[in-house]
A and B are shown apart, each in its own frame.
Chain A
Amino acid sequence: MPRELTIGDLHDLARGAALLGTGGGGDLYVGRLMVESAIADGGRVELLALEEVPDSGLIIPTAMMGAPTVLVEKIPSGDEAVRSLQTLERHLGRKAFATMPIECGGINSTMPLVVGARLGLPVVDADGMGRAFPELQMETFHVYGVSGTPMVITNEYGDSTIVNARDNAMMEWLARGVAVRMGGAAYIAEYSMDGETAKRVSIPGTLTLGIEIGRCLREARERHDDPFGALIEMLKRTPYSNGRILFEGKVTDVLRRTTDGFVRGNATLESSSGSVLGLEFQNEHLVARVDGEVRAIVPDLICVLEAETAESITTEQIRYGQRVKVMGISTPGIMRTPEALAVFGPAGFGLDEEWKPVETLGA
């Protein structure tokens, strides 16, 4: 049964998807308001579970690509992603049955909801990252053989480009260039696939997961309960079953630099007992080491959360003196296969360490 999202769900989703952003993915404020305004205009947001999608139904995922820091200033017209989807429909000569997120962490959890509400299409409750990642080929869709192209990129004028590329890395390269020409934030439709394929290559239930994480944190705060404990319990019932607190302490140093359009850097945290956590990030957190030993590494989730409220802190917001808890959260099996790790495991980010599941690392 399709499930209709409420405004309350959106507030929970904003909180939960921020956590799934693992430090990146962009501020959800604008995204949430866009969905709310689509609903206020009479749209409905209907979530459809992956298994409810007919095998032959065409799914066209939609998203924003580029800098979330641009999006908070140059707010979309609201039609961009809708037009990308429609342009791709015309190009393919087929109508979409549904749209879907490519990324459930950060602002891209909300973009397909806007498209769904505007076009009356259901939104498939699944995605291809299971978190946030910085590049378009960092997708389980890509890992398991789906072509990202033909893809469409559209700006606020309705100018659009259809990208055809020999592989998904080339798609990322070309599309990134177009996105910059479009002002640093553009709106895309890509990885079109049928329902049967989607069931094989997607991470199921990740929008609902975002909503449930957000609800869990909100309710724990309302009860004046420990939000971390509540979250760890809640995660046990999901494919992200192993959540743990890796570290508690204060931020003592942050170094950021920008290269090739990414914010790279590291942060150092110290606990009251004097142990040290080092974080490396490239938009999202990549690896957490406690006293030199790896405690969590991509694609497992590394989340920096405000120590009291468990509010997510992005790599752009992290600053000297903050009191935080750092959580490691295990990822579903589909994100941990050798093929997946080759794309978005440590090697995909140029890290020397081998991937080890967060649940086996330290205590």
Chain B
Amino acid sequence: MRIGIDVGGTNTDAVLLDGRSVAASVKTPTTPDVTSGIVEVLRSIIDQSALETDAVQGVMIGTTHFTNAVIEAKPLMPTAAVRLGLPATRSLRPMVDWPARLREAVGNHAYLCHGGHEFDGRAISPLDAAELRAVAAELGERGVRSVAICSVFSPVNAELEQEAGAVFQEELPGVAVSLSHEIGRVGLLERENATIMNACLRDLAERIVDAFGSALAELTITAPVYLSQNDGTLMSVERARRYPVATFASGPTNSMRGAAFLSGVTECAVVDIGGTTSDVGMLVKGFPRESAVVAQVGGVRTNFRMPDVLSIGLGGGSLVRGEDALTVGRESVGYRLTREALVFGGQTLTATDIAVAAGLADVGDAAWVQGLDEGWVRDAHALIERTVAKAVDRMKTSAGDIPVVVVGGGSILLGSRLDGASELIRPEHSAVANAIGAAIAQIGGEVDRVFSMEGVSRDEVLAQAKAEATEQAVAAGGLADSVEIVEIDEVPLAYLPSNAVRVRVKAVGDLDLARVARVETQARG
């Protein structure tokens, strides 16, 4: 038995999975303290299913809390950005391209120090411990308790970040240290940005993780707790204290993974229709296809891997207009749907009303839409379908028809077929796809660094990278037999004659719940 929880800005959802079947599901409003909302949702789950709490093997939580904290620039910890790379990199200071509001929210403490490596592992300059101690002293005076350390080419050689981290821990006991090589990829500014964001969320991470812990303790659930990450895999809750930034964008990933699970389809398009917008994404081998464009979070450029999602302005609350030409979706009544839509006795013609008039959905009172012209309703509904079909087509990678899985409250807008879809699948429990995605998330391992191809074959390099990624997945709790390589990406470093290639390999496997529970018990005992 495992429990999946999705703590969103509006709702906290939970599901209980017994093997592959959904034993219970609950939706409740998110509470400001997080804890009481989780306690409430878990209590309902336990009541619904008469669950013995010691039968729970794992609790997986997806949350948008950390993303929202950055987007809203709200409770952020004063943070120092320490870059190692002088005399290189002086032309652009840390946070140079941040929105001023966010830069101020973290205190704008930026330091350039010596250190860093070349692409081939040679040192740019040695670490200067005295220089770092001087920075630490200043941070001590300013009351800065979190440090983000980013060294040039640390994905190639991480030593200097580790050494600098040790200096700060020695000088400022209890300081939170975030090291960039553990967080991002090649691309200094983007990796540094992600590291600073991670650093400024460290105290919030402690609070949220503690909130999760006390909620579970209150209900005497002792199973290990995991948080879902942006790539659809899990991290331990202890790791989440140190790497809160890894939870960014886990929301759309979980909803797509949940859709795959509920429908049993692993190669398909997923359409998540909400009240105002719809998100269309593609599942490849059961994982969301990643976006190739630069990911911005709160106006800051990062190199997080985000799912490739196309958002369109179409939802259950979308306004339908027919004065000049028929239009749908430029505006929406949003959460006011149940007051303003015709079928709910309101005055506004929405996409939901069209679905009801077309006989596709049974919500509200169909009597309110009986007066609509039949031909016009047909045209309006065709337009809704075309809008979705066009979005799916834009995301497809081949001309052939593919399965389309529809989830979300607005899924009633679609009929039984869609142009370009080989089948239209509307799974049960689709309203809690997000929590299900969290519950079923796998455990991953990844290698991402520069390899020299000098004197070794490409096959040898790839084999080494695959073995390392697999090892990492198993070490993180993956079931050895289930681990498979899901992604291999090679990027040669152009214009250099040394044949250096950046290789990224991702391995994922199912969580070995029995093993992690054992380790957990031993650790506690």
- List the interface of chain A (C-beta within 8 A of B): 24, 29-30, 33-34, 37, 65-70, 72-79, 114, 134, 156-157, 176, 180, 183-184, 250, 252, 256-263, 270, 272, 283, 308, 311, 316-317, 319-323
Q: What are 8 residue pairs bridging A and B, where the CB atoms are less than 8 Å apart in the complex? A: A33-B97, A37-B91, A69-B119, A70-B496, A74-B88, A250-B397, A261-B497, A323-B394
Q: How far is the CB of B283 from chain A (nearest CB, A)?
A: 13
| Bound CA–CA A73/B181 (angstroms) | 12
Convert B90-122 into 0s and 1s, putting 1 for each residue whose CB lies closer than 8 angstroms to a CB of A: 111100110000000000000000001011101
* CB-contacts of B490-507 with A (<8 A): 490-502
Q: How far is the CB of B115 from chain A (nearest CB, A)?
A: 12
Report the 7 A-B pairs with minimum CB-CB distance, sorted nearest first. Answer: A78-B91, A258-B492, A321-B397, A261-B497, A156-B88, A183-B118, A75-B89
Whether, in the assembled complex, B260 has its beta carbon less than 8 Å from a beta carbon of chain A, the answer is no
CB-CB under 8 A from A67, the residues of chain B are 119, 493-496
Could you tell me if B186 and A72 are in contact, using CB atoms closer than 8 angstroms? yes
Which of A74, A114, A260, A319 has the most C-beta atoms of chain B within 10 angstroms of its own C-beta?
A74
Could you tell me if B453 and A77 are in contact, using CB atoms closer than 8 angstroms? no
| Bound CA–CA A251/B31 (angstroms) | 46
Convert B170-193 into 0s and 1s, putting 1 for each residue whose CB lies closer than 8 angstroms to a CB of A: 000000000000000011110000
CB-CB under 8 A from B497, the residues of chain A are 176, 180, 260-261
Whether, in the assembled complex, B301 has its beta carbon less than 8 Å from a beta carbon of chain A, the answer is yes
Convert B71-88 into 0s and 1s, putting 1 for each residue whose CB lies closer than 8 angstroms to a CB of A: 000000000000001011
**Residue of B with least CB distance to A316:** B491
| Bound CA–CA A317/B89 (angstroms) | 24
CB-CB under 8 A from B292, the residues of chain A are 317, 319, 322
Whether, in the assembled complex, B152 has its beta carbon less than 8 Å from a beta carbon of chain A, the answer is yes
Convert B291-309 into 0s and 1s, putting 1 for each residue whose CB lies closer than 8 angstroms to a CB of A: 0110000000100000000
CB-CB under 8 A from A24, the residues of chain B are 494
Whether, in the assembled complex, B66 has its beta carbon less than 8 Å from a beta carbon of chain A, the answer is no
Whether, in the assembled complex, B399 has its beta carbon less than 8 Å from a beta carbon of chain A, the answer is yes
| Bound CA–CA A28/B262 (angstroms) | 43
CB-CB under 8 A from B186, the residues of chain A are 69, 72-73
| Bound CA–CA A79/B152 (angstroms) | 18
A-B pairs with beta carbons under 8 A, tally:
138
Partner of B119, one of A74, A263, A317, A319: A74
Known: A33-B92, A262-B494. A183 touches B122 (CB 8 A): yes
**Residue of A with least CB distance to B494:** A263
CB-CB under 8 A from B287, the residues of chain A are none
**Residue of A with least CB distance to B96:** A33
Which of B93, B453, B490, B491 has the most C-beta atoms of chain A within 10 angstroms of its own C-beta?
B491
| Bound CA–CA A24/B494 (angstroms) | 10
CB-CB under 8 A from B153, the residues of chain A are 73-74
Whether, in the assembled complex, B65 has its beta carbon less than 8 Å from a beta carbon of chain A, the answer is no
Known pairs A263-B494, A308-B394; list 5 more (Cβ under 8 Å). A73-B119, A76-B90, A77-B87, A250-B398, A323-B394
CB-CB under 8 A from B495, the residues of chain A are 65-68, 134, 184, 261-262, 283
Which of B85, B397, B492, B495 has the most C-beta atoms of chain A within 10 angstroms of its own C-beta?
B495
Convert B264-282 into 0s and 1s, putting 1 for each residue whose CB lies closer than 8 angstroms to a CB of A: 0000000000000000000
CB-CB under 8 A from B93, the residues of chain A are 37
CB-CB under 8 A from A157, the residues of chain B are 87
CB-CB under 8 A from A322, the residues of chain B are 292
